[in-house]
Every structure is written in C-alpha cells, then in structure tokens.
Amino acid sequence: MTESEIMKKKIKVGLLGLGTVGTGVAEILQTAKGRNPLVSDIELVRIAVQDTSKKRCISIPESLLTQSALEVVDDDSIQIIVEVIGGIEPARELILRAISSGKSVVTANKALIARHGEEIAKAANDAGVYVLIEAAVGGGIPIIEPLKQSLGANRITQVSGIINGTTNYILSRMSKDGSDYQEVLKDAQELGYAEADPAADVEGQDAADKIAILSGLAFGGAINRERIPTKGINKLQSQDITYANKLGYGIKLLAIATAIGDNKETASSLPLALCVEPTLVPKEHPLYGVNGVNNAILIDGDPIGEVMFYGPGAGAGPTASAVVADILNIAGVQVLNNSLNSLDPLLSAAYWRDCHLVEEREILQKNYVRLITEDSPGVIGKIGSIFGDNDVSIQSIVQFDANDIGAEIVVITHQVKKGAISNSLLSIRELTEVKSVEAHMGCL
C-alpha cells in the first residue's frame, strides 16, 4: 500500500472533552504499537477542551486543541465524534448536531443515554450513523456489545449486578475495616475514586442510569428512567454490614431488572421490575466476591442460563478501552467499508417492542429489616403477627443484642411484594415497644 493510500484510509476522530476518560482515549490512540492494526488507522484531529492553556499529563499538539466544541462537531474532515464531557446539555445538542451532519458518535454519557437514548437512537438510525455506548456501563467490561450481538439469540429474563465502582469500593472498605460510611467516603475522595460531589454515585442515580440502558438493550424497549425506584448507600450504617456478615451475607449496591413472567408473552408491552438498592448478597453468590471498584453483571437468559461479566468498572484506562473499541467498530463496519446509510442491525440501536415498569409495590424480593425495640416479653410475637397479617413469611428472626438502647432484632423474610413489607413496617412502627425501624433493604 502506498503512503497516500494509507493516508486516505485514516479515520478522523474529534474528541469532546480531555478529562480522565478523554486523556485515556488520546493515550491509546497515540500508542498504537502492539494493539489491533486498525488503531493506527485512527487519527485524532481535533479536541475540544475548556481551557487550552491548562497543563496536561500527556503531550498533545497544541494545534489540536480548541475551546469551541462546535468547531470539532462541524469539522467536515471528521467522521467520528467522541463525547466524553458528560452531563445532559450541551452534550445532547452536540451529539444530535454531529449525527445530523452524518458523523457517527461514541459516548460514555450514561446520564444522557438513559434519559434521551430513544431520541438519539432515532436520529442516528434516520441519519444512517452509529451511536455506540460501550463505555457508558461497566467501564472496561464488554457488556453493551454482548447484549446487542453475542446474546441476541436469548430471551433475557434478568439483568442484575454491581454497576457502580465508587459505591462498591466504599462498601468493600466498610466491610473489610468496619469503618463508617462518612470516613470511607472521605478516603475514597482523597484517593480519587469518588467525585468531589459524590451524589450521583452514592445516591444510586448512576447505577439507575446504567440499569436503564442495560434493560433497554436486554428487553428491547425504551425504559422510563425516572420511574426506577432508587436507593443509595448514603444512609447505610456499618452496624448492618456487621449483622449481615454474621448472618452469612455481604451488602452490595445492586441494580436488578427482571422480566415479569418468562418473557414469552406476546402482550404489546413487556412488564419489568427494576430497582436499585443496597442488598444482602449470600456468601455463595457470584456477586459476593466482587470487591473494590470492580463491577459485575449477571445476565440470565433462555437458553444460555446465567453468564457473568466481571472487571474494572471505572477509571481512565478501562473506560478508554471501551471507547476505543467503539471507535474501531465504527471504523471497521462503516468508514472503511464506506457503508454509510446501511447500518449493521446488530451494532445500531434498535427497540423492537414496548416495555413498562411495574409499580414498586408489586416488585418481589426477600427483605432484611433491623428494628430497635424494648427488651420485653412478647415483642417478637407481635412483630411476627404483623408480618403474618400482611402475608409476609419470615425466613429468620434473630435478637442480636439487648443493651441500654434496647434490643436489636433482625428479620429476614421470604420473597414477598415490596408493598406487603411497606404495610408491615407501617404497622410495626406503631407498636409502642418498637423504638425505630433502623434499616430495611433487599436480600438475595
């Protein structure tokens, strides 16, 4: 191949954002040796940053930098736009503008895709371009492409897992050291694992964005992101981790999406139960050993059974690995084959039916409940009767401690509707012997 043929083959990429992930992407593209030969066909030609004069940890030719994102999006020589600025606006507008000018897009922006994924996918399909999002969920773990392609033959019945690295790091440390939430959060921020404003991670919103995206792909219908019941780890007490451990469980922030029924129904809209919350995970469960910033996603499907995807769920390198994989996919199928307007159906975004979320009260789960009560005769009996009256079957009930604050009672229920547990806890709170319902969470 002559040099001019090689030059002609180069695929030109514009980058929006040069933060942690953007820097990771630039680093991979600058060091192509030893990677797939296609990496050396990718050329980073323009980068939009907030401040062109800022000192950077990698060397980037100044001529590539601009403070105008529009200059990058509107550059006619660019075929692929990589959006790693995050947030809803201006990311949404920039992506739609890139699509309308015939550019494919790679984005790690889970908040945007969870809320505007349908609009963006439609625009991309209409324009005959791709919007690929491997980096939006699970950091470096390949999960989006397997859901679109390798698992396509299956009827998916459940997607569940640990999909937030920051909270998994915090919970792992709390469990290992017996430290308090606030103390570990401070350490995590100092180590750069948690953001200065950790709200989206610790309140579970980041995990809710991600399970919305995974469910849309797994079940084939757009998910109403705002309706996902979401609880974070910010109210979790170390006492519950200690008790969970004594009972043979760990506590993880789980995101769970389940198809109601066996997903064979032909009803016009598939009912789904989705939630994000701290959950007790038994020691023998595959998610129990997933610690630190690692993520793991379990997919249950027919006929495959259960598969688990595990790996680093956050960080510059892993996330950049996923971004560059998407660039290579687009380069391979579209740019090099010059196949604009004929999208590969396994790579493009497609919903093929409607899905809807069932009411939170209808979601089935096992429960962990910790109560502080008076240490007096008959208390456990009264609590048991209230659960019984609400059709809640108890798996175990243990009084852990009786001290000057009272007795601590931990109940694990069998699987029941969330509504039945809520009703029970309302009545239990009314008992004069019950001082407080200190904790309530799900249990596998």
Q: Which stretch binds ligand HSE (CB under 6 A): 162-170, 216-224, 279-287, 371-379?
A: 162-170
Confirm if 440 and 366 have CB atoms less than 8 A apart. no
Q: Which of 134, 206, 240, 408 binds ligand HSE (CB under 6 A)?
A: 206
In this structure, what DSSP letter does residue 359 have? P
Residue 58's nearest CA partner among 320, 377, 340 is 320
User: Cβ closer to ligand HSE: 201 or 408?
Assistant: 201
Q: How many residues sit in the footprint of ligand HSE (CB under 6 A)?
A: 7
Q: Should residue 312 be labelled a site residue for ligand HSE when binding is judged by CB under 6 A?
A: no
**66 CA to centre of own chain:** 31
Q: How far is the CB of 19 from ligand HSE (least distance, A)?
A: 12
Q: How far is the CB of 314 from ligand HSE (least distance, A)?
A: 4
- Using CA atoms, how far residue 11 sits from 36, 378, 422, in Å, is 14, 74, 56
Q: Which of 44, 314, 323, 420 binds ligand HSE (CB under 6 A)?
A: 314
Q: Which of 17, 165, 204, 216 binds ligand HSE (CB under 6 A)?
A: 165
Q: How far is the CB of 24 from ligand HSE (least distance, A)?
A: 12
Q: How far is the CB of 72 from ligand HSE (least distance, A)?
A: 23
Q: Which stretch binds ligand HSE (CB under 6 A): 160-168, 258-266, 284-292, 403-411?
A: 160-168
The residues that are catalytic are: 210
Q: Which of 154, 164, 175, 321 binds ligand HSE (CB under 6 A)?
A: 164
**10 CA to centre of own chain:** 33
User: Cβ closer to ligand HSE: 314 or 325?
Assistant: 314
- What is d(CA 159, CA 190) in angstroms, rounded to the nearest whole number? 33
Q: Which two tokens stand for residue 199?
A: 């709200």
Q: Which of 201, 203, 240, 408 binds ligand HSE (CB under 6 A)?
A: 201
Determine the Cα angle at 211 with ends 317 and 207, to 5°.
60
User: Cβ closer to ligand HSE: 137 or 333?
Assistant: 137
Going 312 to 117 to 194 to 25, the CA torsion angle's sign is: positive
Q: Which stretch binds ligand HSE (CB under 6 A): 39-47, 158-166, 280-288, 340-348?
A: 158-166
300 beta partners: 158, 306
48 beta partners: 16, 66
Q: Should residue 294 be labelled a site residue for ligand HSE when binding is judged by CB under 6 A?
A: no
The crossing angle, in degrees rounded to 10, of helices 20-30 and 316-330 is 60
Q: How far is the CB of 207 from ligand HSE (least distance, A)?
A: 8
Residue 208's nearest CA partner among 239, 186, 231, 191 is 231
User: Cβ closer to ligand HSE: 21 or 355?
Assistant: 21
User: Cβ closer to ligand HSE: 313 or 442?
Assistant: 313
- Label residue 179 exposed, middle or buried (CB < 10 Å: 0-12, 13-18, 19+): middle
Instruction: Write the single-letter amino acid at 173.
Output: R
Query: Cis omega (within 30 of 0) on the bond before 90?
Result: yes
Q: Should residue 313 be labelled a site residue for ligand HSE when binding is judged by CB under 6 A?
A: yes
Q: Should residue 127 be labelled a site residue for ligand HSE when binding is judged by CB under 6 A?
A: no
Please report, as residue ranges, which positions from 136 to 155 form the binding site for ligand HSE (by CB under 6 A): none
Confirm if 372 and 403 have CB atoms less than 8 A apart. no
**C-alpha atoms less than 13 angstroms from C-alpha of 284 in its C-beta half-sphere:** 1
**221 CA to centre of own chain:** 17
User: Cβ closer to ligand HSE: 171 or 281?
Assistant: 171
Q: Should residue 166 be labelled a site residue for ligand HSE when binding is judged by CB under 6 A?
A: yes
Q: Produce one character per residue of 257-269: b if its CB has 16 or more CB atoms within 10 Å, e if not.
A: bbbbeebeeeeee
Q: Which stretch binds ligand HSE (CB under 6 A): 126-134, 140-148, 163-171, 409-417?
A: 163-171
User: Cβ closer to ligand HSE: 311 or 332?
Assistant: 311
Question: In the complex, which residues of this chain contact ligand HSE (CB under 6 A)?
Answer: 164-166, 201, 206, 313-314
